[in-house]
Structure 1
Amino acid sequence: MVGMVCASIVASGVMVLLLRLTRTEGAQAIEDAVENKDIMIDGAAKRELKELREQQGFSLNRLKVHRSRTLSLALPATRPFAPSKSSLLEFFPRSSPKVICLIVFGVVMGSLFIMTEKKYARYPLMPLGVFSNPSNVACLVVTFAHGFIFIAAEYYLPLYFQSVKQASPIHSGIYILPLTLCEAFMGIMSGVIIHRTGRYQELIWVGMALCTLGMGLYIYIDASTPLSTILGLEVVEGLGAGMLFEPPLIAMQALAAQDDVATATATLGFIRNLATSMSIVIAGVVIQNSMASRSASLRAAGLSPDLLSEFTGGDAAANVEMIKDIADVGQRNAVKQAFAFSLQRTWILMTAMSAFGLVASFFIVRSHLSKEHTETKTGIKEKKEEGGGS
């Protein structure tokens, strides 16, 4: 319940920030938010904000950059409001040096991190002993699957509404309210159930099953599916996704050693963030490739070469506003069907990931939840003192 309340507060803050960004003083809002430590940015984000200053004329004199290795929250929020020839959201060919270097160096640095944590780190950031328990690994797999699928539904269902149903951005946001409200409601109820019964396994099983069912039903959404049917399917998936925000964390904390609870919590949060990031990118690639595979049918429908390039290129999802400008009804319907087809392929991927998480959920072991508070002293200083005393 506490987690859902915090999430609601954060969401409200982001909405207020976005509303402020649409005004002329939007750049100043970012500056104030950073100074108040509402958001933390890294060096790359500072460079992007410097570009914003040059375009919008605001000062960075009061900008305080957090030196920790954090991802920028300000950058993705402000970047859509600053037109520029270069964008971090630009898609590069998979064979380009930028993509290859990112993948290679990412794998190398990840491997070095694991090796360092295992062999050389005296005080590891992520003790690998957390992964020695199969139940903990299952919790992380469930968390990854949950993060992978719930963000995809919230991110790409509006794309369906805007492309196929020709809804405005505001209406597309309203149309996913059944999904988000059900997630919030079940997030609260799952906390109440765990508090009163001490059971969490059943919530994880039912949640993953409903997510798998909901994603599987999304596959049958096409260009002619009634809006009421889609809203009903959102309820199924939303109820399942809402059950999975807290129970995997409780399951992992229950089995982790007392000294490793904080590390286990941070690791689970990291896995969830990683899953949401990967989901958006991978699903975007699936949609992009699926739209490209429909080029023959779009050409047969009579689309001009210019329109064909707009709807089969890397920016197809960004060109949904162009659909309503197509005068020919047959061509317009062909484009809508292409988007529906591409999103169906995305739901197939999400269904497979959800099924994988469902299988992993059965490996989570139930542990007794104690009502006694245990105080744990943490910190390097205390450990050194204990070592010196012995």
Structure 2
Amino acid sequence: MALTWGGLMHPWESTATLVPLILGFPGLGFFLFYEAKFASYPIVPFKLIANRTSLSGYLQTFFTPIINIGMTYYLVAYYQSVQGASPIRAGVNGLPFTVVLGVSLILTGVSVKVTKSYRVQLWLGWAFYIIAMGGFTTLGSHTPVAHALGISSLVGVGGGLLYSAQYFPVLAPLPISENAHALALFGFFRTFASVWAITIGGTVLQNQLVKRLPEAFTSQFPQGAALAYASIPIISSLEEPLRSEVRQAFADSIDVIWQVFIGIAGMGLLSSFFMEALPLHTQVDDRWGITEGKDSEMMTVEAPLEKPQRMAMQS
């Protein structure tokens, strides 16, 4: 709430912004403390994050969707606001990223299977992310679309490496009996991060637009830049030089998002240095198995007798 409101609905120094920030982080800390010390059936068993390798995997799992989803969302905004692309055209421009991401996912999985290691793949993934976010900062109002497509393909390579390999540092240090709990928390981190991706990017973009959009454009909207962002489809119909000024304002504002994402990718890379090179599990938990005899017994279901048959047997 604080990140969404700050600088838009309420000033950053206002009570409405500071209270959620001040209460939110200690509240999260108290939740984790209670789970570790007092909960009889903890939602988040502390042992899942009690070792540095699993903790590193969870942190990387959180940072990755912020960049991946944020890039997908705000690159589309760039295509439409700066390049003048239609929504359909902006979606088509995302195909190279999608294809490269899919191929990278498959190849990364194969590499982990063959090498029995995961650290190199994750380090390479973060390197691709940092390079790609740096490349996005070169996009401007007159940059060829092919330039953006090539950079987004680098994000696809990095995303495939990270999404495919992040399970392993989470699971490798834990007993296989904890796989269900570990993967549930893994899914929570990944889903929770997707909310932050839009929140962080949207907060940065809106605050930058407030400072950069020309007054001749924002004066048309009583709600200021918040509504101006939703008015992207009308940019192409503006008269010059106002149209070029608005496009440049959007280009400069989105550029700040890429700079923020460079920092987040750097935090992801830093967190990856804490994981150890542990062997991958090769066994399964026998408690979840079903013996052949039980399996056959469970699969054998006696069909109910028809009423005439039951009467004949009774007689």
TM-score, normalized by length of structure 1? 0.67
Q: Cα deviation per residue 1:329-351 (whole Å; 9 max; x = unaligned)?
A: 21100000000001100000001
Deviation at 1:169, TM superposition (A): 0.7
Q: Relative to structure 2, which stretch is displaced further, 140-149 or 157-166?
A: 140-149
Counterpart selection for 1:168 from 86, 89, 97: 86
Q: Cα deviation per residue 1:89-142 (whole Å; 9 max; x = unaligned)?
A: xx7435787766655664465344223312221121111122221111211221
Residue 343 (1) aligns with residue 254 (2): yes
Letter of the structure 2 residue corresponding to residue 291 of structure 1: L
Letter of the structure 2 residue corresponding to residue 314 of structure 1: A
Letter of the structure 1 residue corresponding to residue 87 of structure 2: P
1-structure distance, mates of 2:250, 2:266:
24
Counterpart selection for 1:334 from 224, 228, 245: 245
CA change 1:304–1:370 in 2 (3 A) is closer
Deviation at 1:219, TM superposition (A): 0.8
1-structure distance, mates of 2:25, 2:270:
27
Residue 93 (1) aligns with residue 10 (2): yes
Gaps of 5+ in 1: 1-90, 379-390
CA change 1:119–1:187 in 2 (3 A) is same
What is aligned with 1:314? 226
2-structure distance, mates of 1:273, 1:155:
16
2-structure distance, mates of 1:248, 1:134:
14
What is aligned with 2:144? 226
TM-score, normalized by length of structure 2? 0.82
Residue 215 (1) aligns with residue 126 (2): no
Instruction: Indicate the RMSD between aligned Cα atoms, in angstroms.
Output: 2.3
What is aligned with 1:278? 196
Contact 2:212 2:249 in 1 (8 A): yes
Contact 1:159 1:317 in 2 (8 A): no
SS at match of 1:93: coil
What is aligned with 2:313? none
What is aligned with 1:354? 265
Q: Cα deviation per residue 1:206-261 (whole Å; 9 max; x = unaligned)?
A: 11110111111101111111011111111111111111113111121111123322
Contact 1:146 1:244 in 2 (8 A): yes
Counterpart selection for 1:323 from 235, 239, 244: 235
Deviation at 1:375, TM superposition (A): 2.5
Counterpart selection for 2:50 from 132, 139, 155: 132
Contact 1:258 1:376 in 2 (8 A): no
Deviation at 1:373, TM superposition (A): 2.5
- Runs of 4+ aligned residues of structure 1 deviating over 6 Å after TM superposition are 95-98
What is aligned with 1:155? 73
CA change 1:108–1:371 in 2 (3 A) is closer
What is aligned with 1:187? 105
Q: Cα deviation per residue 1:302-336 (whole Å; 9 max; x = unaligned)?
A: x25633767x5222321101211212x21100000
Larger radius of gyration: 2
What is aligned with 1:250? 168
Work out the number of aligned pairs and report it.
281
Q: Cα deviation per residue 1:280-304 (whole Å; 9 max; x = unaligned)?
A: 1111010011111114xx24xxx25
2-structure distance, mates of 1:304, 1:265:
48
Counterpart selection for 2:153 from 209, 228, 235: 235
Contact 2:221 2:227 in 1 (8 A): no
Letter of the structure 1 residue corresponding to residue 272 of structure 2: S
Contact 1:92 1:99 in 2 (8 A): no
Gaps of 5+ in 2: 1-7, 290-315
